[in-house]
Structure 1
Amino acid sequence: MEPLLQISGLEIDIPTRRGTVHAVRGLDLDIARGEIVGLVGESGSGKSMTAMAVVGLLPPAARITAGTISLGGRSIIDARHQDLQQVRRHDVGVVFQAPMKALNPRMMVGTQLREALLRAERPNLRAAMVRSLELLDAVGINRPMERLRQYPHELSGGLAQRVVIALALARHPRLLIADEPTTALDVSVQAQILDLLDHLRSTLDLAVLLVSHDLDVIRDRADRVNVINLGRIVERGPTLDVIDRPQHEYTQSLVAAMPSLARRRDLALVGLHRPSGAAAADGAGAGGTGDAPVADLDDGRPVDTPVDQDLVPIAEAIDVHKAFALPGGRLPWRPAHRRTAVEGVSVSIRPGESLGIVGESGSGKTTLARMLVGLAEPDSGEIRFDGRPVTALDREARTTWRRDVQFVFQDSTSALDPRRTVADSIGEPMLAAGVPATERHRRVVELLGEVGLAEHFGERRPRQLSGGQRQRVGIARALALDPRLIVADEPVSALDVSVQATVLNLLNRLRRRRNVAYAIISHDLGVISYLCTTVVVMYQGKVVDAGPVEQVLTEPSHDYTRMLLAAVPGARGRVAVPEVI
């Protein structure tokens, strides 16, 4: 079959003060109609640069220096500006990674859809509305008439991504480029978006370029896969052949770094492994990563020491309830109502234990975590520290609680002050605790080494770090006061697989060396399986399943847990995933 998209010998250079960055080097790729082709690699590998070259959306400094791109036999590289605009308007639809950034926050969904339609399909307002409703229905959005009058901020992540897909389909494209379309989405919503892409490619005979760093997503959905590293395709072929039997060392390292439900729990992930001569995806680029030496792989393996159930829990929630007041609509005189976030939940975390808290957005897991560390107070029920209600703690005991229980935020960027250096951010808790300057400096250097960062990183500011490095700085900051419990909210949700492996191995090492306990909030069941000893599953504010991680993830007792497991990419015996957005 003649390829719809054909890329041959593509080279993209980006001039910088330090020299020219060869972002894409001699890349070949093709896609036929009705086919999903995966392009997988880490941040900085050149995958998004390749995808954006197809639609002429490269950064201003980037230049195509060699190669050809043709779509349906028409050259893209040599096209005039107006011809390229026609390609973007009619032939190619793009689904971007962050749906909220792709949508105009000041315009209703219906207005944005109407503007995206072909002129012939919007001769009047009624015709435009009918076509917009058809698009929303095609992407599986419930209550479409209501959605047309909503703004992006009123949509869930899954609904917003579906709207972005509807916009991409508005002009009947032949090629759909999906750039990380499911990053950080709940597992069931992720399954729905991927099912939707699969359905559209078969019913509309679309060619789909699926760009991702998630091997499970690629394995589950792509017909063929191209593995890209440092701008070059290092391995390609049928998806199952490449991922199940990788030949190139870079592909092997990606597979070894990926936690999954199918992986043996006693095997360590391979973090910070790079093919010889490769620059790091999680580092400073050419010239090395700047990462400090870390312990060997055995030291990062999952901890299998049984938790002593007779020990007094460090922290526990006993029958806690929490509700939030919501405004009564757009009319200020209407009374407010309350939405229940957590209802009658009880959990406990003992020394050395790693508790996983899973559930979809809105299930109450983050609210529960915030109550455990004192960032929110329950409306009823008790939070206890070392067996004592926190409301009964005197000033000295409350200070001890604040020191012993620390929080690692999901968004590592907003969690760090952009004006402070890394050393200042890590040292801030010690400054507040009255630790002398000399001891603070020594301790900061020690903590940087413990999370695998070289001493000179202390001089940098957050904007000068990669996502994985910022997350490790957040962990170092949480460790500054030698806590006994770390509560981490989605600590690896948007990280590349090798960086994710490094952070997960780091958490295991700290638990082994310090006997640190964890409460890990995540929607990734592979991460929970690898890192945790026990797990609770939350749904609509309640715990519906709980127990040892092996038991809950292999023999779930609740239908909701079974639905989550069935929605995991690559799950065997997939069952229908119910509509939840």
Structure 2
Amino acid sequence: MSAVLARVESLTVRFPGQPRAAVDDVSLVVHAGECVALVGESGSGKSLTARALLGLLPRAAIATHTSLEIIAPGGTFGAAPEPGHRRWDAIRGAHGSLIPQDALAALDPLRRVEHEVGDALRLHGLATGAERRHRVLAALNAAGMPEPARHLRQRSDELSGGLRQRALVATALIADPEFIVADEPTTALDAGHRGNVLSRLRQRVDQGCGVLLITHDLASVRGVADRVLVMRHGRIIEAGDPARVLTHPAHPFTRELLESSPAGKPRGMRLTGASDSPDDSQDLPASAPVAPIASPRATCAPRLELADISVSFGTHQVLRGVSLELGAGETVGLVGESGSGKTTLLRVALGLQRPDAGTVRIDSVDRSTLSARARLQLRKRLAFVPQDPLDSFPRGATGGHILADALRAAGIPRASRTAQSAALATEVGLETELLRRPTQSLSGGQRQRLSIARALARDPEVLLLDEPVSALDVTVQARVLDLLDDVQARRGTSFLFVSHDVDVIHHMSDRVLRLENGEIARG
């Protein structure tokens, strides 16, 4: 048996005021040369379990365990330091590292990429000066960042979500740690770069590293993990070899995870067995289609038109003459590699980015010809679900405050906002008790659902979705995708849907467009 790199016995994590333990009597071990995958719904305790192994639990967390052991300097293995102890500084980065889920929150917006990625080398005295820069460039290149030298002097807010994610991967791997916690390491990446990162992790495992992989991408588990642990409600409910667990699962919840995938499910087919809307039938079979809305593109003016849009940042041209139309009740899927300009195009549509050339029309009205007040009224017909929801939330605000503010902007009377907020939360599968918590304390999936609820508050005609389910596990993703179908069927909402997930895009879209090097690919 290979050497043990990390082990915890009977871990329990609680938070003050919460009736149920977030992690409940969990034990796991990671050996050298082994990748252990931890899968389950958002909020099931996966990230808390993993962070406990690196002494990174939130301050408010109350953790107990029978034992907690981890690899330490000098290759020794023994009891982990107490939370907050300075001995962790010698372990983290050099011997144990974390690829965190939230790429924006994890990167310091005031520091340049070169300094962020090279910190482990500097803090542990592993390289200096020119050697450190050389290793930073090599790490960024290995993580799949295109033209890494061009990004060295940039800050995180100048990078796309995919580029931020690759910077985090490089940061975690640059010092060649023996033990890696990879918490949704491919969330913001397209299929090609996702495969590259997973291949890189597997390569490290084959070289003797130990990896704890937290993911909701079950397809990635099949080719990377040696063991799979399934978590639900803070407990491990199933464990075993990936071939057995993912092909012949023993637990009903594991079967639900597998059945919720959109892979091979055509447009309009439900992914869940019951509707998320209280107005719909609760015993609708999983295979039942959502009532389709015939696209009126042939007979009605498009709700949104982008004509010959070009955008440059300095000498770098992001978009080159991009045009698209979106009809009433239609979903147009937009795919492309990270950094291909998808998010920039959505910002142009919203009026948050002025194009260098081109025209934006909403219901056939050229936005540039309107007064500021008229543009504001036209803007209310569009809503946006961003890729990094935490970045768009006021710091310290609770979910309830965010939804109440969105309802205020939509003109909902004050007396109705609490009930409406609860209804929106229920629609997107967010427990109403979570609305009392600051958004920083929510899981990535919970924040994404809150972001979708906020966008629906104004009942928009056009919804622009930038990776709206990228942070969600497959069961919650399925409920949200069904919810979006229901919204479209009831209200005729139009969606411009950006995603790296090809299965999601083909399941949701009437038409699919691909951006390549800032242009719509032909053919």
Contact 2:100 2:182 in 1 (8 A): yes
* Aligned partner (choices 477, 480, 488) of residue 465 of structure 2: 488
1-structure distance, mates of 2:217, 2:159 = 25
Structure number with larger C-alpha Rg: 1
Tell whether 2:323 aligns with 1:357.
no
Tell whether 2:247 aligns with 1:244.
yes
Contact 1:136 1:144 in 2 (8 A): yes
Contact 2:30 2:211 in 1 (8 A): no
Contact 1:271 1:498 in 2 (8 A): no
2-structure distance, mates of 1:315, 1:457 = 37
1:564 corresponds to: none
**Letter in structure 2 aligned against 1:323:** V
1-structure distance, mates of 2:377, 2:410 = 13
Contact 2:9 2:65 in 1 (8 A): no
2-structure distance, mates of 1:423, 1:128 = 45
Indicate the SS of the match to 2:21: strand
- How far off its partner does 1:43 sit? 2.8
- How far off its partner does 1:236 sit? 1.6
Tell whether 2:483 aligns with 1:478.
no
- How far off its partner does 1:352 sit? 2.1
**Letter in structure 2 aligned against 1:14:** R
Let me know the Cα RMSD of the aligned residues.
4.4
TM superposition score normalised by structure 2: 0.79
Contact 2:306 2:349 in 1 (8 A): no
2:407 corresponds to: 427
Aligned residues: 508
Query: Judging changes above 3 Å, is the alpha-carbon distance between structure 1 residues 399 and 457 closer, same or farther for their aligned structure 2 residues?
Result: farther
Tell whether 2:193 aligns with 1:213.
no
Q: Once the two structures are aligned, what percentage of the paired residues are identical?
A: 31
2:320 corresponds to: 343
Tell whether 2:200 aligns with 1:201.
no
Indicate the SS of the match to 1:510: helix
2:178 corresponds to: 174
Counterpart mapping for 1:25-424 below 5 A: 25-31=25-31, 33-60=32-59, 61-67=61-67, 69=69, 74-77=77-80, 87-88=91-92, 91-99=95-103, 101-103=105-107, 105-106=110-111, 109=114, 113=118, 116=121, 121-122=126-127, 125=129, 160-202=164-206, 204-260=207-263, 262-270=264-272, 295-296=281-282, 297=284, 301-302=289-290, 304-317=292-305, 319-324=307-312, 326=314, 337=315, 339-391=316-368, 401-413=378-390, 415=392, 418=397, 421=401, 424=404
Contact 1:315 1:350 in 2 (8 A): yes
Gaps of 5+ in 1: 274-289, 327-336, 546-556, 558-581
**Letter in structure 2 aligned against 1:93:** S
2-structure distance, mates of 1:408, 1:461 = 20
**Letter in structure 2 aligned against 1:178:** A
- How far off its partner does 1:543 sit? 0.9
Query: Judging changes above 3 Å, is the alpha-carbon distance between structure 1 residues 535 and 8 closer, same or farther for their aligned structure 2 residues?
Result: same
Q: Deviations over 1:299-330 (max 9, x none)?
A: 9845545424422133243532232453xxxx
Counterpart mapping for 1:8-23 below 5 A: 9-14=9-14, 16-18=16-18, 21=21, 23=23
1:284 corresponds to: none
Query: Judging changes above 3 Å, is the alpha-carbon distance between structure 1 residues 134 and 250 closer, same or farther for their aligned structure 2 residues?
Result: same
- How far off its partner does 1:242 sit? 1.5
Contact 1:412 1:474 in 2 (8 A): no
Indicate the SS of the match to 1:21: coil
1:526 corresponds to: 503
1-structure distance, mates of 2:418, 2:183 = 43
Gaps of 5+ in 2: none
Query: Judging changes above 3 Å, is the alpha-carbon distance between structure 1 residues 67 and 293 closer, same or farther for their aligned structure 2 residues?
Result: farther
* Aligned partner (choices 543, 558, 564) of residue 520 of structure 2: 543
